[in-house]
Amino acid sequence: MFLLKSICALAVIAVVAASVLNKPEKDTRIVGGEVAAEGSAPYQVSIQGRFGHNCGGALIDKRWVLTAAHCIQGANPDSVTILAGTNDLNSGGVRYECEKFIIHSRYNRPSFANDVGLIKLKTNVQLNDKVKTVEYDYRVVPDGAVVRLTGWGRLSAGGPIPNLLQSINLTYVNHEECQKYYGPNNSVDIGHLCTFQGKGQGACNGDSGSPLVYQNRVVALTNWGVPCATGLPDAHCRVSYYHDWIRTTMKSNSNRGVQKNR
């Protein structure tokens, strides 16, 4: 399987996944999309390390970013910045420092499960036309719903990371149908939301943690997929399943550093 965090992490995860599932390697970025209109996803942020863009995330509060756990696991908050307010990785926007990373206490138990995390910023973001928070949804997405994914993931497997934010509309595939693609004993659980639009359209490396939006609410975060847009559904963290965890963690957490919360 591919997690969308980095090429190195992807290679390791893909080997493990292939041996467990007897499936092709997996990885994630937007393939077959288009350049997003400026300001059309003001909640989208870029999670950046020493070498630039690493993952995506959604600004769900002036102080909080929602992302995938594998994007922040093992990372030092002091070495990561959040870029908000721009579609162009090379121009504009404002950088914010991270105070704390929190990942789900059962992340990757079992493999690829509970891949959800929160980043608390050191200061509130300044909201404007290009920087806005977005609600995270408690409702289940209806069958056949069309959701929007945005991100700076690679444009093809092994291809370049785009400077400009990409956007694509994808169709929600319910849990039972998604499992049919992968067969029994797979890594698609009830905490995942699957999407599929067709071969050549989907997520890729660098899209990890990026939000999928339905009716102006975040319904999922990119987790993993088979590299890239090869004709199988991508699996994302289902926000409705983790809604209470997100809400209670944000409300109760105030300590500095890295911790795990149920």
**Structure confidence by residue, pLDDT tens digits, 19-55:** 323 333 333 447 888 999 999 999 999 999 999 999 9
Interatomic CA distance for residues 182 and 174, integer angstroms: 13
- The string of pLDDT tens digits covering residues 80-108 is 999 999 999 999 999 999 999 999 999 99
What residue type is 256 in one-letter code? R
Q: In the beta sheet, which residues pair with residue 48?
A: 53, 81
Interatomic CA distance for residues 6 and 119, integer angstroms: 18
Residues 54-71, mean pLDDT to the nearest whole number: 97
Ordered structural domains, the chain, with CATH? 34-253 (2.40.10.10)
Residues 111-122, mean pLDDT to the nearest whole number: 96
Model confidence at 16: pLDDT above 50: no
User: What value, to the nearest 5°, has the Cα angle with vertex 67 and ends 66 and 72?
Assistant: 120
Residues designated as active site: 70, 115, 208
Q: In this structure, what DSSP letter does residue 128 have?
A: B
Model confidence at 57: pLDDT above 90: yes
Total-model pTM:
0.86
Model confidence at 12: pLDDT above 90: no
pLDDT of residue 261: 55
Distances (CA, A) of 213 to 57, 65, 91, 180, 255: 12, 15, 25, 24, 30
